[in-house]
A and B are shown apart, each in its own frame.
Chain A
Amino acid sequence: ETGVTQTPRHLVMGMTNKKSLKCEQHLGHNAMYWYKQSAKKPLELMFVYSLEERVENNSVPSRFSPECPNSSHLFLHLHTLQPEDSALYLCASSQVASGSGPYEQYFGPGTRLTVT
């Protein structure tokens, strides 16, 4: 049990669909992250929320839309995706201390997304 859960674990969607990925952390952390992991590429940071405010958006296409309603929940809303968006999407959480940067991140099991 990692303390970070993600649903669904697997998702297949067409390019015209709209779906959402959900992440929940039970660790009392104050920062949450979305990563994309594609084969043979490093983990790509997509979005960061710290204290429920988005603090980073790494030039992610607008077809990916994050939402963080509170410090324990994080969503990634998907619409009109492309086949190249097929990947493992990982959520993570950490504690962030002012002036000290992030401590270690705890990852969820990921959602394996396939866009057809």
Chain B
Amino acid sequence: GQNIDQPTEMTATEGAIVQINCTYQTSGFNGLFWYQQHAGEAPTFLSYNVLDGLEEKGRFSSFLSRSKGYSYLLLKELQMKDSASYLCAANRDDKIIFGKGTRLHILP
């Protein structure tokens, strides 16, 4: 996906914390999206980071380091309904480029 890299799969336990990393090419970079996609459903928007730092939205937080070309999505107090794919997408030269997504499995 034009150098948007994220792990293919991750497994975590209900109630725990998980961090999903994403790296991207920095040329033409404007911002970084995170989307959640449940199996058989459309992606839904989670966050958009433009500036460096951590942004928190309830149980989900997203971090960006523009100089390192690095972002992560942090999910706290995991619930079974968080089992889904998490898509990292970079806004580069005003085009949105998606990674392959990270499939997150939650164990009871």
Quote the shortest CB–CB distance from A102 to chain B (angstroms): 6
Which residues on the B side are within 8 Å of A103 (C-beta)? 48
Question: Nearest CB to that of B99 among chain A residues?
Answer: A42
Q: Is the CB of A42 within 8 A of B95?
A: no
B87 at the interface (CB under 8 A from A): yes
Cβ-neighbour of B42 out of A41, A42, A45, A90 (below 8 A): A90
Query: B96 to A42, Cβ gap below 8 A?
Result: no
Chain A residues, CB < 8 A from B4: 42
Cβ A43 vs Cβ B94 within 8 A = no
Interface of A is mostly: loop
Does A2 belong to the interface (CB within 8 Å)? yes
Residue among A40, A41, A104, A109 with the highest chain B CB neighbour number at 10 A = A104
Give A86-102 interface residues, CB cut-off 8 Å to B: 90, 101-102
- Number of B residues near A (Cβ < 8 Å) is 22
Question: B100 on the interface (CB 8 Å rule)?
Answer: yes
* A45 contact from B30, B43, B96, B101, Cβ within 8 A: B96
Distance to closest chain A CB from B90 (angstroms): 11
Tally inter-chain residue pairs, CB-CB below 8 A: 44
Interface string of B68-108 (1 = CB under 8 A from A): 00000000000000000001010100111111110000000
Contact B1 A102 (CB under 8 A): no
Known: A2-B42, A90-B42, A109-B42. A102 touches B101 (CB 8 A): no
Select which of A40, A90, A101, A109 is within 8 A of B100 by beta carbon: A40
A105 part of interface (Cβ distance < 8 Å): yes
CB pair B42 A102 closer than 8 Å? no
User: Would you call A107 and B43 a contact (CB within 8 A)?
Assistant: yes
Residue in A42, A101, A110 with the greatest tally of chain B CB atoms within 10 Å: A42
Contact assessment for B91 and A110 in the assembled complex, using a CB-CB cutoff below 8 Å: no
**B44 at interface, CB cutoff 8 A:** yes
Is B91's CB under 8 angstroms from A107's CB? no
Bound Cα distance A45, B91 (Å): 13
Asked whether any CB of chain B lies closer than 8 Å to the CB of A66, the reply is no
CA gap between A109 and B42 in the complex, in Å:
5
